[in-house]
Amino acid sequence: MVSLLIISHSAAVARGVKELADQMVQGKVPIAAAGGTLEGELGTSADVITAALDTLPANDGVLVLVDMGSAIMSAEIALEMSGRQFIISRAPIVEGAIVGAIQASAGASLEQTVAAAERALEAKQVGGAAPPAPAPAAPPPVQQAEAASAANEIILTINNQHGLHARPAKDFVQTAARFKSTLRVKNLDRDNTPSGNAKSMIDIMRIGVSKGQRISITADGPDAAEALAALEQLAANNFGEG
């Protein structure tokens, strides 16, 4: 599994970003925070970074996120001496850490994790620009998927309180990632949003699903029926939100 290393000029910032990412993946992804100098001042230190890096297991590589470009030099010194595979990402440190951790928890490679982290701001840009769509009148209960035209397609109504916000979106992505089939999802009540990859946290956040809105999920592959059934059950349980 890919690990994450959070580097900030502030120890408090690094710890806070790590805490957010840890909560999203429930500690399932190794994440280390390296902030400040050895003297506890603002800045970065190769020694602090090395100490944080030593807490991470030797695994499938390290996604490195930094708050400012001046942290890159300290990071490169520590990481190159470690002999580990790593990529220092240009992703935003907060959003990138959360999205990267979620993709890593779904078994993504280092390159896939970095790519997801570097798209992290897309959800914010699209979400802010898209006007909210009204919920359809009298939506059907989520437990009963509507019959769709394709054999491997279901339509569900999302009924949990805040729709597919970060935590249920994470559960959706992690569930989809368990299957080999290609899975696509579209918000049927937002005409201005394209379909997205059900295994991509960014794509799920971009389609902006609110409570009462319907999504279409299509599956193509050897375990398509099982994948759709698992996602249907997840939605039927309101993503564990009661």
> What integer pLDDT is reported at residue 140 of this predicted model?
47
Is 43 buried (19+), middle (13-18) or exposed (0-12) by CB count in 10 A?
middle
Single out the catalytic residue among 3, 5, 8, 9: 9
Tell me the two tokens of residue 127: 């979400």
Last residue of a domain, one of 118, 146, 172: 118
Report the CATH number at residue 113.
Answer: 3.40.50.510
What digits encode the pLDDT tens for the residues 130-146?
444 444 444 444 444 44
Pair 185, 165 in one domain: yes
Pair 25, 93 in one domain: yes
Overall average pLDDT of the 215-242 stretch: 91
Please give the residue range of the domain that contains residue 98: 3-118
| Whether the Cβ atoms of residue 52 and residue 76 lie closer than 8 Å to each other | no
Give pTM, 2 decimals: 0.71
Active site residue 165: no
- Of the two residues 46 and 68, the one the predictor is more confident about is 46
How many structural domains does the chain have? 2
How many secondary structure helices (H) and strands (E) does the chain include? 9, 9
Does a structural domain hold residue 172? yes
Determine the distance from the C-alpha atom of residue 202 to the mean position of all C-alpha atoms in its chain, rounded to a whole number.
Answer: 7
Spatial distance between the Cα atoms of 217 and 196, rounded to a whole number of angstroms: 10
